[in-house]
Each structure stands twice: as structure tokens, then as C-alpha cells.
Structure 1
């Protein structure tokens, strides 16, 4: 009996060695392959030359997978703040898609968030943030970052020390539609921090990302006698066409405010110091014709900075196809009159004193 039991134990051990052990080994390999190809376990902490944290990128991307940076960081010679990089999350699991975030750094004319070149989200629909202002609070005691995030596109302004004769520097990012805007703002703030530190222009400590963002406003009917909620502002189009919708940020007009009258015009005003500083430091900024009796400087007669009770204040107006098609038609106000009315109406809301003629 003893000899039989010993032989049975020997047979079982041999079976384990010949059958079970290889199966376990295959299982370990399969698990390792899954972790390697379908998750970010054992992956790098940073990609894009150290500018992008894989953890922050994974938080933005809606699907899980392996975080890589494809071809790495594409840096442009002559400016350490000019670069592009694409971050990917990929997986071999059935039904999974490759998701991408594109981050870039570069220089823009200081009022880029308010110009209609088709690249930037409409300022009336994005969530602006600046160290706790406009509904945002920062995650640390650091200086609050200045930026904005739309549905899938955002930007963060780099510190003023990063500005050169070519203008202010920004970090811009595109994420998959439906990404969490707060997480995108956090990622872009981190990239801005690292880019500024690498370029030697982060002198006041790290930028603080917003912990919350105000939700974008919903379109509403244009109000009678108060377009965009500003008393005295005429409809930017033919008389009687007030069936249009407007998207406007209610509440305080400080520090950044915008309104879009769909198809006709977009108005914006900001007293945000980093933005105004970037505008005044940009190439092409010069004295312009007076607006509503005020001395102004800017890039053209509808993108200007004026003194508002001692505070430099930027005003802009962009026109849509509805207005441009109606130019010259009876009842359509002139561009000059519309912009004068806007600066006057917004100035009153800001408490600006009467201009000195």
C-alpha cells in the first residue's frame, strides 16, 4: 500500500510538471501580454520627451489601453516652446479603438481666443479659467493657469516670461469628443508647466490647474432692446431679424465675457491680466482710431484695448455671414456704430468712466 501511494504521488507530480506547469506558464505569458498590449502597466511615466504624463493622458482618453507617443516629440529648432506630439491609447482587445490626444506648443497673436479664423472654439461656448475666477478653483496653492476648454479643444497660456518679440506662448490640445474638460485642462496645464520649465521661463512656481469649470451656457432668444444682455446694444443685422439665438455668459462681465449672436456677430471683452499682457506684447499692436470716444490701441478697429477706470480692457467684435450678407441693406447698422455701441454698453457694465474727448 505504501509503495502504491508513493507511486501515485510520483505520477501526479510528473503530470503537474508535464501538463499543468506549461499551462500555468502560458497563462502567465498571456497575462503579461495583456498587461503590455492592452493596459499601461509596465509602461513609461512620461511621453513626448517628458512633457506629457501618461497618467494624465490616460485620464483624458475615454478608453483604456497602452499609452504611447507614436513618433515622439517633434520640436522645432529655434524655439523650445514650439513643438507637436500625438499621444495614443491603443488596445488589441476586440472592439477597441485607438484614441488620440494631440498637444502642441507655439506662439499666437495675443487675442487668438477671440478671433474667428475657424481654428479656435467660439469664446461664448468655452469654459475660461484663471486661478479660481469664472467658476474655476485650482488644485494647489500655485499661480492659477489661464486658459479655456471647449468640447474637445483647449489651450493654456504660458507665463509672461515666456513671451518674446514673436508674441505669447501657448500650449494647445485636441482630445476625443466627450473627454472630461477638467481633466483636459489639467493635462494642458501640466504640459505648459513642463514646457515653460524646460525653456527656463517658469520663474514663479508651477501653474495650478482648475479643479472645476463653469458649464457652457445654452442658446436663448435674443432679448428686446438688450442684445447679449447689454442695454443699448443694437441687433447686429437687418432690423426686425431678432428671431436669432444668442449664447451669452450671464453674471459678472469680469474678467472674461463673450456673446455670440448666431450667424451675425460674436462679442468679447476681457480684463484678464495675462491675456491683456499677451495682446499688448504681440506684433502688430498699435494705436487705432478712437472707439466710443476712447483712445485705443490694437490690431485693427474691432480688436482693441482701452483704459477702463484704470484697467486695460480688451474689446473685440467678429462678424458672421448673416451680417456680411446684409451690409448696405436698409436697417442694417454700420460696423463702426455697432462696435461703438458695444464698447459703450460693455464699458458701463464694467463701471468705466466717461471718455476724455
Structure 2
């Protein structure tokens, strides 16, 4: 009996430390690799850990480093880096930069190298208004948040491989919280999209209907080979087409985007385009009245067009833009301009 009792006591002495080590290991895993026992929000309350964790491509513990960096003169101007870290073998710390800024209203369609190409971007509207493309997205804040400096947006850069729908939901959530903190969430929270349109696949250019628009000519020289275009399917409310290397066309009737354009600094009357009276920021970023609907048109040129300027058959910039406004206007049901 003594031998049996001794063996049982010895077993208990061995098992107890093993169990203790197991409990510590599980606790360390939960603490270091998950959001259990973590704060519900980071970035000064703007980002929920659950929404951030859903947007990251891999699991980890969400934190915000030093918290948000904000501007005292504008409650909607901030930057915060969210990270997801894990001590599991082979894992790497991932980062997501989220910021609030004010932009010129047509920022998604300007070629400053910062924004994803609108032809391959998934735009969404109906609740929140925004877009996601190339692991980079943005959401417009409510119109009540607009000031003399222009509309406010929330912008996010996510790691490669992030779920675009989850990124859109995260940015919508941040936009709601930022607007609420600033006191300009006037009509209730913005609704996040549940799905996004797929990015179009490049296809050969049809010279008879560039970008699928009858009457639109090729934005380059007569001699060319293998030209491709990426065209979004629907012309409403936001549409874009990229003729690779040559030009990117865009048009939108989305009310919130157009509202932001009309309220931006520098928006003024411009020379007529395709016979239509227009206002805008320059001769190729304008808003026209299209059957009673304010409609924004833009045209950006690529390196291949710049290199072809002066070559036989290369159309002038303004001629191309006039043709675009005319062709897209017909597709939108716009009446002919009056003199």
C-alpha cells in the first residue's frame, strides 16, 4: 500500500508542474497572440480591435503603438498606426495606417500617385460612400463635417492580402466614430458595404468604341501595338476606364462625391467643354449639368501619351476630353448643349 501511495504522490508532484506550465503557456498564447484581455478600442477610441483584427490578413494581438497623432485645429485630422503582432513561429508584425484628412473633392480621380487607379477601384455607395483598391481605401465623412477647407475622409492602408470588404467596414466604422467625436454625425451612422464589385480584367482596345463609348477615339498615336483597357461595367453612379499607359477617364454622379467637389476650394467656372458650360478645378476636371444632374468628368494622361505628344495622329488633350464628355454624356442620357 505504501508503494501505491508513494507512486500516487509522486504522480501528483509531476502532474502539478506540468499543468501549471500548460496553464501558463495557454495564458501566454492568449495574451501575446490574440485580443483576449486586450482593450476593446485603440487609436483614441476610433478603432475597435475586433474590426481591425477582421481586416488584417492574419491573426495576432491588435495594438496602436503610441496612439493617434492629431491636429489641435481640426478634430478630423489624425494619423494612427494599428499593428497586429504574434509570437507564433513564422509570423510577422503587420501594420495598418489609418488617417483622417481633408482633400479636394475629386481626389479619387486625380493622378498624384497616392490614390489607387479609379478604373480598378471598387466604389461603394448607398450607406457609406467610399472605395477600396490595392489594399488602400477611403470613406467620406458626412457632409456636416465639411468645412471651408473641403470634405473630410478617413483613409486606410492595409497589408497586402487584406480582405477588401473588411477594410471597407473598418474605415466606415472609423468614419462614424470620428464624425461622432467631432459632433458632425448628423443623420445617423453610415452603413458599411456587405460586398464590393470585382476589379475589371484588362481587354484589347476597340478602336470603334474606346472604353466601350461610341465616338471616343484612342488617346494616343495612330501606330501602336497591344493596347489594353480596363473598363468598369456600370456608368452610374461612378465609372472609370484606364487605357493602359495612355489615359484614365472617370465620371461620377454620386451625390456625396459631387457635393464634396462643389464645396472644395478652387472650384470655379472653366472654359466650355464640348459646348457645355462647366465649372471645376481646371479644364479637364469639371462638373457639368447633365439632364439636371451635376456630373463630374475627369481625364488624366499617362506616360505613353506624354511620350507620343507630337507624333502623327496623337490627339490634343482638350479634343480628347471634349470627345469623352460628349460620348459619356450621350450614354448618360444628357441632352445636347444649348448655345
TM-score by length of 1: 0.92
- For 1:13 and 1:239, locate their aligned partners in 2 and report how far apart those are by CA, in whole Å: 92
Contact between 2:207 and 2:217, CA under 8 Å: does it hold in 1?
no
Once the two structures are superposed, the pairs formed by residues 129-148 of structure 1 within 5 Å of their partners are: 129-131=124-126, 144-148=127-131
Tell me the secondary structure at the aligned position of residue 138 of structure 2: strand
The residue that corresponds to 1:63 in the other structure is 58
2:242 matches 1:237: no
Q: 2:106 aligns with which of 74, 89, 111?
A: 111
Deviation for aligned residue 1:79: 0.6
- For 2:171 and 2:314, locate their aligned partners in 1 and report how far apart those are by CA, in whole Å: 42
Contact between 1:154 and 1:174, CA under 8 Å: does it hold in 2?
yes
Gaps of 5+ in 2: none
The residue that corresponds to 2:252 in the other structure is 270
Residue-by-residue CA offset, 1:321-347 (whole Å, 9 max, x unaligned):
111112222211111111110000000
- For 1:249 and 1:19, locate their aligned partners in 2 and report how far apart those are by CA, in whole Å: 67
- For 1:176 and 1:162, locate their aligned partners in 2 and report how far apart those are by CA, in whole Å: 28
Contact between 2:121 and 2:132, CA under 8 Å: does it hold in 1?
yes
Residue-by-residue CA offset, 1:10-61 (whole Å, 9 max, x unaligned):
x456435643323322221121111101111111111111111111111111
The residue that corresponds to 1:141 in the other structure is none
Q: 1:198 aligns with which of 181, 184, 190?
A: 181
Deviation for aligned residue 1:177: 1.1
The residue that corresponds to 2:29 in the other structure is 34
The residue that corresponds to 1:300 in the other structure is 282
- For 2:44 and 2:247, locate their aligned partners in 1 and report how far apart those are by CA, in whole Å: 41
Deviation for aligned residue 1:63: 1.4
Residue-by-residue CA offset, 1:307-330 (whole Å, 9 max, x unaligned):
000000000000011111122222
- For 1:322 and 1:88, locate their aligned partners in 2 and report how far apart those are by CA, in whole Å: 39
The residue that corresponds to 1:332 in the other structure is 314
Once the two structures are superposed, the pairs formed by residues 13-32 of structure 1 within 5 Å of their partners are: 14-15=9-10, 18-32=13-27
Q: Aligned pair count?
A: 339
- For 2:139 and 2:245, locate their aligned partners in 1 and report how far apart those are by CA, in whole Å: 28
Deviation for aligned residue 1:354: 1.1
The residue that corresponds to 1:313 in the other structure is 295
RMSD between aligned alpha carbons? 1.3
Q: 2:171 aligns with which of 160, 163, 188?
A: 188
Q: 1:124 aligns with which of 103, 119, 125?
A: 119
- For 2:13 and 2:207, locate their aligned partners in 1 and report how far apart those are by CA, in whole Å: 86
Deviation for aligned residue 1:70: 1.0
Contact between 2:229 and 2:244, CA under 8 Å: does it hold in 1?
yes
- For 1:325 and 1:27, locate their aligned partners in 2 and report how far apart those are by CA, in whole Å: 66
Gaps of 5+ in 1: 132-143
The residue that corresponds to 2:199 in the other structure is 216
Q: 1:52 aligns with which of 33, 47, 56?
A: 47
Residue-by-residue CA offset, 1:164-222 (whole Å, 9 max, x unaligned):
00000000001111211111100010000100111000010111011011101000000
- For 1:239 and 1:199, locate their aligned partners in 2 and report how far apart those are by CA, in whole Å: 54
2:291 matches 1:291: no
Contact between 1:235 and 1:242, CA under 8 Å: does it hold in 2?
no
Which has the greater radius of gyration? 1
Contact between 1:101 and 1:174, CA under 8 Å: does it hold in 2?
yes
- For 2:161 and 2:15, locate their aligned partners in 1 and report how far apart those are by CA, in whole Å: 46
Residue-by-residue CA offset, 1:264-308 (whole Å, 9 max, x unaligned):
100000000000000010000000000011110000000000000
More divergent stretch after superposition (149-158 vs 321-330)? 321-330
- For 1:328 and 1:30, locate their aligned partners in 2 and report how far apart those are by CA, in whole Å: 70
TM-score by length of 2: 0.97
Contact between 2:80 and 2:97, CA under 8 Å: does it hold in 1?
yes
- For 2:130 and 2:32, locate their aligned partners in 1 and report how far apart those are by CA, in whole Å: 35
Tell me the secondary structure at the aligned position of residue 179 of structure 1: coil
